[in-house]
Amino acid sequence: MITQSYYYHKPLKGCATYRIFAQMAAMEIKEIQQDIVDEFSMFEDWMQRYEYMIELGKSLPLIDEKYKTDDNIIKGCQSRVWVHAELEADKLVFTADSDAIITKGIIAILIRAFSNQRPQDIIDSDTQFIDEIGLKEHLSPNRANGLVSMIKQLKLYAVAYQTQLN
């Protein structure tokens, strides 16, 4: 049965309809990312960028307290970061929180880009926009900051739920 189901999906993924569909959905994430890039391009200096991120952090809808468990903590961040993922129909919805406000701002940006998207589109998306909005320093492999771990965790959730959808 498993083999059959694999062969059933494989040709589908190769067909034209699937490709167009995937492209459309990917465009959505890309569009949101472009919106974020456009917003950030209005800021003249780092201070405005960070003030905006702090505002985003403050306005991030909070994660349900019951999901702020040790299991949901992302390892590798200096501040504590919790992420919870839930599948609503075929879309993945993320909620998150952090005890550091700048980190929360970064999470807010990531959630805006990746939440409410289909898992496969999250898996296929890139994170180039982080660099473009002037937050490149948060992408360094320095263990002190958690952006890399956060993106990895969002993608891991997407992979897990994509498997479930299959």
Partner 1 sequence: METTILDIQKIRKDFPILNREVNGKPLVYLDNAATSQTPKQVMDAIVDYYSNYNANIHRGVHSLSQEATDKYEGARHKIQHHFNAAKAHEIIFTSGTTHSINIVANGFTTLLNKGDELLVSAMEHHSNIVPWQMLAERTGAILKVIPMSIEGELVMDEYDKLLSNKTRLVFCNHISNALGTINPIEEIIQKAHKAGAAVLVDGAQAAPHIKADMQKLDVDFYTVSAHKMCGPTGVGMLYGKEEWLNKLPPYQGGGEMIAEVTFEKTTYADLPHKFEAGTPNICGGIAFGAALDYMNGIGFDAIAAYEHELLQYATRKLLKIKGLKIYGTAKNKTSVISFNIEGIHPYDIGTILDKLGIAVRTGHHCAQPIMDFYKIPGTVRARSCFYNTEAEIDILVAGVKRAAAMLQ
- Asked if 144 touches partner 1 (CB under 8 A), the answer is yes
The DSSP H or E segment spanning 93 is strand 91-98
Indicate if 77 belongs to the active site. Answer: yes
Where do we find the tokens 């059933």? 8
Question: For partner 1, which is the closer residue by CB, 126 or 137?
Answer: 137
Helix axes 101-114, 16-41, angle to 10 degrees: 150
Residue with tokens 């699937």: 18
The nearest distance, CB 102 to partner 1, in angstroms, is 5
Residue whose pair of structure tokens reads 């926009």 in the numeric block: 129
Task: Write down the least CB distance from residue 99 to partner 1, Å.
Answer: 6
CB of 157 to partner 1, least distance (A): 24
Catalytic: which of 77, 107, 147, 150? Answer: 77
Quick one: which of 1, 2, 42, 47 contacts partner 1 (CB under 8 A)? Answer: 47
99 is an interface residue for partner 1 by CB under 8 A: yes
CA 112 to chain centre: 8
Q: How far apart are CA 142 and CA 22, in angstroms?
A: 33
Which residue in this structure is represented by tokens 């003249």? 44
Which residues in this chain contact partner 1 in the complex, by CB under 8 A?
46-47, 50-51, 54, 78-80, 99-103, 137, 144
